[in-house]
Amino acid sequence: MTHVALGIPKSCIETRIIIIGTGFAGLGMAIRLKEMGIDDFIIIERASDVGGTWRDNRYPGAACDVPSHLYSFSFEPNNEWSRVYPTQPELEAYLQNVTDKWDLRPHIRFAHTLTGAHYQQNSGHWLVNTSGGDFRARFVISGNGGLAEPKLPDIPGVENFSGHHFHSATWDHNYSLAGKRVAVIGTGASAIQFVPKIADAPAKLSVYQRTPNWIIPRKDRAYHRLEKWLFKRLPITRKLLRGKIYCQNEIRVLGMVLHPALMKIFRMIASRHIRRQVTDPSLRTTVTPTFPIGCKRILISNDWYPALQKPNVEVLSSGIKEITATSIIGKDGSERAVDCIIFGTGFYATDNPIAAMIHGRDGRVLADVWANGEEAYLGSSVHGFPNFFFIVGPNVTLGHSSMVYMIETQIAAISRVLTAANALAADAVEVRAEVQQAYNKELQNRLGGSVWATGCDSWYKHRSGKITQLWPGFTFSFRRRNRDFKQADYTFSKARVEATI
């Protein structure tokens, strides 16, 4: 059968594997393919350089809250991390170095935004449409990121605001905040990093808090050059440090999943942090959360509370009634005329934006399949979508440790499935429906007893209330589960038509 008969565009480029995205996930997958001796792959990237979230989030103070020696590829250690917690520029540079070291750029098609992906049932291929052209591939592996699409709040009148405005993930570095009346909406992980950095510039900074977060001290410091020398000369010291950070983080699972009562320890630390840093009793009440600690992500900061107490900064917590062309009106009737609004309002985390573009077997659309909340098997494979894999898909995110560890686990797992498909000379591999169902039933049972189910709203939850983002356990148990690859969990099949192009 010809490509025309199969509905494949003539200009379609053929490759064995398409990877979506050049963050930790996409780059890590590409490296693994190279290690497996597979060179026939293309990475599509909507931006003009690599880096994913660490390329996009360039707001003042952007940094990771997982220590650098754990938040990096195990096979690409960096003796030169400057601090305990890596900053955005350092992480972006790290990912660029990794890209160049592994010579991945020839595989990357920049400025190629995904516009559609259609499974060709007869041949077992995916037709992938992008803004830069079309591709046909046997496999698609998406590393499109869980926190990649900025979300603007659905506040009445937000579209009428005529002043300057931008989201934390699309920071406008050309706009000077000096002397302006600025409002920040949102007090999540991003806002608590950028507010302290910008607080001195505006004439007035109004911080709109809907829900306060639990915040513990940030134990950050620069690495001494002797430490870096030691990491280089005696790599075991760097490995021991990584191991120590890993274990310290894993301990949190005991409280988050197994015995939520243990989270009291974190509550004591966070409450003491408020008492030490906030002097005004009324502000103390305003910034003290009422939900159990850990239910939403625990944040770390030493300069958030001090920033809120600067003379030009105010915290408004009654909720926002409306945004007008020039002002923000609170539910308590307060009105603030503002020149600029900065949205620190997070991302579309529970509705993967590419799901509406993925058309699987029998024409099913992934967004429809996921209408009541995303689910997959091991966070990678979805029944009805053969030869398609996610990295950082449903229930893979962590509330306690490094996503890079989870990403490496998933990359290894996907490689095992690809290897099995190759060994069986299969054209299509698809997770069995009953395997996916049983896995998700078990996950939801475990999540039901976790701290994340104790009654707060968070981006870990789909609007249906189902926790679709988090892995409920130790990261090593996720790895063990993935290592234990069972061929019987999948169906491997031959194509009905051998399509040529």
Residue 31: strand, helix, or coil: helix
Q: How far is the CB of 349 from ligand NAP (least distance, A)?
A: 7
154 makes contact with ligand NAP (CB under 6 A):
yes
Of 180-188, 257-265, 283-291, 307-315: span binding ligand NAP (CB under 6 A): 180-188
Is the CB of 191 or the CB of 428 nearer to ligand NAP?
A: 191
Of 185-193, 231-239, 258-266, 485-493: span binding ligand NAP (CB under 6 A): 185-193
* Contact of 493 with 427, CB cutoff 8 Å: yes
Q: Which residue is nearest to ligand NAP (CB)?
A: 188
Please identify which residue in 67, 145, 188, 386 interacts with ligand NAP, judged by CB under 6 A. Answer: 188
Q: How far is the CB of 211 from ligand NAP (least distance, A)?
A: 3
Of 11-19, 275-283, 344-352, 493-501: span binding ligand NAP (CB under 6 A): 344-352
* Contact of 81 with 230, CB cutoff 8 Å: no
361 vs 140, 385, 429, CA distance in Å?
A: 14, 6, 12
Q: How far is the CB of 12 from ligand NAP (least distance, A)?
A: 36
153 makes contact with ligand NAP (CB under 6 A):
yes
Q: How far is the CB of 167 from ligand NAP (least distance, A)?
A: 9
Is the CB of 177 or the CB of 192 nearer to ligand NAP?
A: 192
DSSP secondary structure code for residue 64 in this structure: -
CA torsion 335→171→77→102, rounded to 10°?
150
Please state, in angstroms and rounded to a whole number, the distance separating the CA atoms of residues 498 and 496: 7
185 makes contact with ligand NAP (CB under 6 A):
yes
Please state, in angstroms and rounded to a whole number, the distance separating the CA atoms of residues 483 and 480: 5
Of 18-26, 135-143, 340-348, 385-393: span binding ligand NAP (CB under 6 A): 340-348
Phi, psi dihedral angles at 302 (to 5 degrees): -105, -15
Is the CB of 182 or the CB of 185 nearer to ligand NAP?
A: 185
Please identify which residue in 122, 211, 302, 312 interacts with ligand NAP, judged by CB under 6 A. Answer: 211
252 makes contact with ligand NAP (CB under 6 A):
no
Of 40-48, 339-347, 379-387, 462-470: span binding ligand NAP (CB under 6 A): 339-347
Please state, in angstroms and rounded to a whole number, the distance separating the CA atoms of residues 118 and 134: 11
Q: How far is the CB of 166 from ligand NAP (least distance, A)?
A: 13
Buried b (16+ CB within 10 A) or exposed e, 448-468: eebbbbeebebbbbbeeebbb
Q: At what angle do helices 24-35 and 403-423 cross, to 10 degrees?
A: 40
Please state, in angstroms and rounded to a whole number, the distance separating the CA atoms of residues 320 and 153: 10
Q: Which amino acid is at 276?
A: R
Please state, in angstroms and rounded to a whole number, the distance separating the CA atoms of residues 403 and 14: 32
**Contacts (CB under 6 A) with ligand NAP, residues 57-116:** 63-65
Please identify which residue in 20, 29, 44, 191 interacts with ligand NAP, judged by CB under 6 A. Answer: 191
Number of amino acids touching ligand NAP (CB under 6 A): 26
**Contacts (CB under 6 A) with ligand NAP, residues 435-494:** 457, 459
297 makes contact with ligand NAP (CB under 6 A):
yes
Q: How far is the CB of 165 from ligand NAP (least distance, A)?
A: 14
* Contact of 165 with 33, CB cutoff 8 Å: no
Please state, in angstroms and rounded to a whole number, the distance separating the CA atoms of residues 49 and 494: 37
Q: At what angle do helices 225-233 and 235-250 cross, to 10 degrees?
A: 110
* Contact of 325 with 160, CB cutoff 8 Å: yes
344 makes contact with ligand NAP (CB under 6 A):
yes
Is the CB of 344 or the CB of 393 nearer to ligand NAP?
A: 344
345 makes contact with ligand NAP (CB under 6 A):
yes
Q: What does the binding site for ligand NAP look like in residue numbers (CB under 6 A)?
A: 63-65, 147, 153-155, 168, 185-191, 193, 210-211, 297, 320, 344-347, 457, 459
